[in-house]
Amino acid sequence: MPGSALDLLSGDAQTFVEKVWASRVHLHHADPDELVDLLSLDDADTLLTSSAIRTPSIRLAKDGTVLPESSYTRGATLAGKPLTGLVDSRKALALFAGGATIVFQGLHRYWPPITRLVAELELELGHPCQANAYLTPPGAQGFAVHSDSHDVFVFQTAGSKQWEVHDSDGIQDVKLEPGASMYLPTGTPHAARAQEVVSLHVTVGINQLTWRGLVQRSLADLADGVPDAHLPAGYLNDPGKLAGGLADRLEAVAAQIRDLDAAAAVEAEVRRFLTDRSPRLAGGLHDVLAADTIDDHTRLRRRPGHPCVLLARGDRIDVLLGDRSLDVPGWLRPALEEVRAHPELSPGDLAEQLDPQSRLVLCRRLVREGLLEVAP
């Protein structure tokens, strides 16, 4: 995918972050092929009819009503154990022909192009993201006017949809076609209807991390440190019995807040975010099989959407990889900085930082851990 994920969806990423983020509706037009390649109509057909997809990865809605799962699912057995929630493609297609919208939920968890898009977008924004897709028959509408509790990017990959968007300027009618994307801030009321042909669009939800949440997480240990002793009996008739004790405890917490290391709290926030993402290891089987054959000339590249953040910890370094961290000796920092600085390199490019054996050991481990992949 050329350029950055944010550039693809919003145009100039820096301008978007500075002037548009969480402020107003924003429209952008990209190369249609770049967006269509993320999820085509054929891709949606494959997911629906040939992938054994199960609920809750799919749901159906029609005219503002979510249809019961029993109307489009079936049971089965696998190795003698029952499976429930399997989508019956025949039933789902019949409901679709009758005007129902098919929603692919959590698409970032099982469709690789969207997985990569979301992973890269998360790193650019620093906020957790998710993705759904909506397949709507001609002239139909799946959901009534509603608003979301998170920011949304919408992009069209097949057909067209007419959007009714409510913002500070009133109601806007926006028609999205392949190549078009739209940003909706949190709480923007909207609804959409397919036009003369089938419509397929993807929404990327941005679950924004907030200052309030950061402050709460930074203070959580301080609050937990307050002794969990019982309140004194009789305070209902004499509230003054609580006032002095509460004042003392609040003053103690306030003193701790004044001494709080903001840089350490931020480091903890970065560590939390970059160690709890879902593993994204497409092609990992081939990399594991090839790891032992890597030599000084093997071309390696950074896996898209994978961070490599280095946090010092005494004479050790924590390498944050997204879904976990690696604990490595501090003397590896120059080599790791070199890895961070280049999207593609060979072990031999680390000759100034490491001896032949050490650089092969490091690169092979980074391949096994999923930070690097063997370039085709």
Task: Count CB atoms within 10 A of the CB of residue 4.
Answer: 14
Give CATH for domain 284-374.
3.40.366.30
What's the confidence (pLDDT) of residue 23? 67
Domain residue ranges of the chain, discontinuous segments joined by +: 5-206, 211-260, 284-374
Per residue in 219-248, pLDDT tens?
Answer: 999 999 999 999 988 899 999 889 999 999
pLDDT(269) > 80: yes
Average predicted confidence (pLDDT) for the chain: 93
Output phi, psi for 312, to 5 deg. -70, 140
| Region 120-136 average pLDDT | 96
Task: Tell me whether domains 5-206 and 284-374 share a fold.
Answer: no
- pLDDT band at residue 25 under the 50/70/90 scheme: confident
Name the CATH superfamily, with its identifier, for domain 5-206. Cupin (2.60.120.650)
By C-alpha distance, which of 172, 219, 191 is closest to 25? 172
pLDDT(337) > 60: yes
pLDDT(360) > 90: yes
Percent of all residues in the chain with a pLDDT value above 70, rounded to a whole number:
98
Predicted TM-score (pTM) of this structure: 0.90
What distances in angstroms separate CA 177 from CA 74, 111, 152, 288, 305, one per listed residue?
34, 22, 17, 41, 27
By C-alpha distance, which of 96, 121, 305, 279 is closest to 202? 121
Angle in degrees, 0-180, between the axes of helices 356-368 and 333-341, rounded to the nearest 10: 60
pLDDT(18) > 80: no
Per residue in 169-182, pLDDT tens?
Answer: 889 999 999 999 99
Distance (Å, rounded) from C-alpha 334 to C-alpha 22?
38
What's the confidence (pLDDT) of residue 17? 75
By C-alpha distance, which of 269, 272, 274, 346 is closest to 308? 274
Which residue's structure tokens are 């032992």?
292
